[in-house]
Every structure is written in C-alpha cells, then in structure tokens.
C-alpha cells in the first residue's frame, strides 16, 4: 500500500489521482474531510481507506507500506495557534519520519518555499545545516516546516539512520484543480476566475516599492501537474534523496497570471490596482524564484509547464466547466 497524508487536500488529492491513473488502487489517505465539501477532491478516486490523523499512529502498527507521501499540514500562512501548528506540522512529522526509518519505508514530505522568509538570502535549496540556519521564515507555518528541515539535516550531518529514501519538497506557488476548499489561501486565479469570466473588474495590488510597477510583484507559479510529476518521479527513483525546490525557476507577475486567464477565455482585460493593506506592506514578498539545479542534477528531466499553457489547461479543463474537480 501507499499512504498519502493530506490526501484529500489540494496537492495530495492530485497525487492520489495520479497514483490511480498509474494503476495503483492500493492507496490509503490520511486526512479530515470536514464539512466544507473537501470530499469532492476524492470523489473520483479508488481508495483502500481514509484514516483520520488522530488514528494514524495506531493504524500504522504492524502495517507494511511501499512508501509514505507526507503532505498533511496546517498550511495557512496566517495560522496563529503555535502549539497546534507545531504538533501537526513538526511533531507528527517527526513521528512519521521515525516510523519510516524503523520500518525502512521511503518517505517524501512537503516542505515549503515559506521557509525562505523574505528571500533576502535567496532561494537556494542547499540542505546543509549552515545554509538552513541562515533562513528566517516570516510566519508560523514557514517556521514549522523549517524546523523539520533542520531536524532532517541534522540527522544527515550526524550520519543517523534515515528511511531508505527521503525527500523534502519545497513547493513554491502551486495552483490548479482541487484547491477550492482553501478559501483565502486559493490561488489568485481560482479566487478571481468568476470575475474574469463575467467581465467584472479584477483587483490587484499596487506596488509600494520603487522600480516595480503595479501588478508586477512576482512569484514562481507552478502548475500542480508539474508538482505531481516530481512526486511520481521520486517514487520511481528510490536512489534519490535530498531537499529540493519544486518550482519552475522562472518568476512571473500577478498581472501575467491574470492576463493569461483573460486570454484563455478570449476576454478583454479589466484590471484595476488597489492599495496594499498597510498591515502587510512591511512583510509582503515582491519576488520569489526557485533554483531547481539540484532537482535537475538528481536526474529529473520532466520539465515545467509555461504559465500561459498552465492557465489555459486549468481554465479549459477545470475552471470553465460545471465539474471543476480532478
């Protein structure tokens, strides 16, 4: 069996879909479905079991797994409950890492580009302890992910036992189908698509930094299909371990993103720029761009979808259809 924690979530449900499409029906999901319709992310899937996180450690006793893909987390960058975030994102991850080590099970886990903080020290996925210790995440979520990266790196440096394969994935700005339950944490494209289609004005932030135009704040936007390909490649390549950025390596602007949506629908752009709330101006990131050299050197050659092609696929295959779910 394969276990996907967070398997009903955005990236997790897309991984589960890819596993099913690859012929794997022996998939177990660990997640909470809640009452916000998240079950729809799995409605087209074949699963062995859906295990609540509180029952996972008991469920694992005596089990044999081909691999564990650990994507479950409190992923809101605005989360404020430090005890809950650390218990969920760090301490549970530690227990799962220990289980995979003891049982010789390959372990792939989600880190985050949020570990890089404001980007002052760049976006290099150097997994050495000295490099990691320079990073200063700007929010609780990013810190919880960084804390786990540090712990794994310390074990590597000490020569401690680890799973036969371990891989941490620093996801950048992922967008695509099945993100709809995320509310304010959805991509701008998903949040604003209905406005784009209806011809209503779409608001983007003005720039409050000299030399950067309104709407030209940039992110490394990566389509979820590309993320899933990396995860599937790791499953098929057990000799590869390490900490890897998962982004396209090319920053694009929020304006580019929305113009691609208008183009995909054949609509005339209708964008206006509004002041950024003062509360976030001091901590707002104007630029993120992954370095993906290590992923390529490890042997990954799956490529990345261009922003325009990714938006066209997302709009045509999902957002502009009655059934938006993968």
What are the residue numbers of the active site?
141, 182
Q: Is 93 annotated to bind ligand?
A: no
Query: Under a CB-based contact definition with an 8 Å cutoff, are residues 15 and 7 in contact?
Result: yes
How far is 141 from 171, CA to CA, in rounded Å? 13
User: Does the annotation place 313 within a ligand binding site?
Assistant: no
| Contact present, 325 and 43 (Cβ < 8 Å) | yes
Is 325 annotated to bind ligand?
no
To the question of whether residue 222 is assigned a binding role by annotation, the answer is: no
Tokens of 98: 């220990």
35 annotated as ligand-binding: no
Is 284 annotated for ligand binding? yes
β pairing state of 173-175 and 166-171: unpaired
State yes or no: 174 annotated in a binding site.
yes
Residue-by-residue DSSP string for 65-131:
-SEEEE--S---TT---HHHHIIIIIIHHHHHHHHHHHTT--EEEEEEGGGGTTSTT------SHHH
Q: In whole angstroms, give the CA distance from residue 260 to residue 157.
A: 44
Q: Is 236 exposed, middle or buried (0-12, 13-18, 19+ CB in 10 A)?
A: exposed
Pairing type for strands 221-223 and 2-5 reads unpaired
| 11 belongs to an annotated ligand binding site | yes
- Would the annotation count 73 as a binding residue? yes
301 carries a ligand binding annotation: no
Say if residue 184 carries a ligand binding annotation. yes
Query: Does 10 count as an annotated binding residue?
Result: yes
Question: Does the annotation flag 180 for ligand binding?
Answer: no
Q: Judging by beta carbons within 10 Å of its beta carbon (0-12, 13-18, 19+), is residue 77 exposed, middle or buried?
A: middle
Neighbours of 154 (CB within 10 A): 12
75 marked as binding residue: yes
Phi-psi region for residue 126, left (φ > 0), alpha (ψ -120 to 50) or beta? Answer: beta
38 annotated ligand binder: yes
> Residue 208, annotated ligand binder?
yes
Residue 50 burial (10 A CB sphere; 0-12, 13-18, 19+): middle
Q: Is 116 annotated as a binding residue?
A: no
How far apart are the C-alpha atoms of 13 and 7, rounded to whole Å?
5
User: Residues within the annotated binding site for substrate?
Assistant: 173, 184, 205-208, 219, 284
User: Residues within the annotated binding site?
Assistant: 10-11, 31-32, 38, 71-75, 145, 173-174, 182, 184, 205-208, 219, 284
User: Residues within the annotated binding site for NADP(+)?
Assistant: 10-11, 31-32, 38, 71-75, 145, 174, 182
């Amino acid at each position: 069996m394969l276990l996907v924690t967070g398997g009903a979530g955005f990236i997790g449900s897309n991984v589960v879909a890819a596993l099913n499409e690859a012929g794997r029906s022996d998939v177990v999901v660990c997640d909470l479905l809640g009452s916000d319709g998240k079950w729809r992310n799995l409605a087209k899937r074949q699963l062995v079991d859906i295990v609540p996180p509180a029952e996972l450690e008991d469920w694992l006793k005596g089990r044999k797994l081909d691999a564990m893909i650990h994507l479950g987390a409190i992923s809101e960058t605005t989360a404020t409950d430090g005890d809950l975030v650390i218990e969920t994102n760090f301490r549970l991850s530690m227990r799962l890492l220990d289980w995979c080590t003891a049982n010789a099970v390959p372990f792939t886990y989600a880190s985050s580009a949020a570990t890089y903080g404001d980007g002052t020290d760049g976006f290099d996925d150097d997994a050495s302890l000295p490099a990691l210790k320079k990073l200063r995440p700007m929010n609780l979520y990013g810190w919880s992910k960084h804390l786990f990266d540090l712990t794994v790196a310390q074990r590597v440096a000490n020569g401690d036992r680890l799973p036969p394969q371990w891989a941490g994935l620093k996801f950048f700005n992922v967008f695509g189908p099945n993100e709809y339950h995320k509310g304010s944490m959805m991509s701008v494209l998903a949040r604003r698509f209905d406005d784009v289609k209806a011809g209503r004005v779409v608001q983007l932030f003005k720039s409050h930094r000299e030399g950067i135009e309104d709407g030209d704040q940039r992110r490394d936007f990566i389509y979820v299909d590309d993320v899933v390909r990396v995860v599937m490649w790791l499953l098929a390549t057990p000799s590869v371990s390490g900490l890897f950025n998962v982004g396209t390596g090319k920053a694009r602007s929020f304006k580019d993103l929305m113009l691609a949506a208008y183009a995909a629908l054949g609509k005339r752009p209708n964008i206006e720029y509004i002041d950024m709330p003062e509360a976030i101006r001091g901590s707002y990131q104007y630029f993120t761009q992954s370095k993906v050299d290590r992923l390529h050197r490890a042997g990954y050659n799956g490529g990345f979808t261009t922003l325009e092609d990714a938006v066209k696929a997302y709009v045509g295959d999902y957002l502009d259809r009655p059934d938006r779910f993968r």
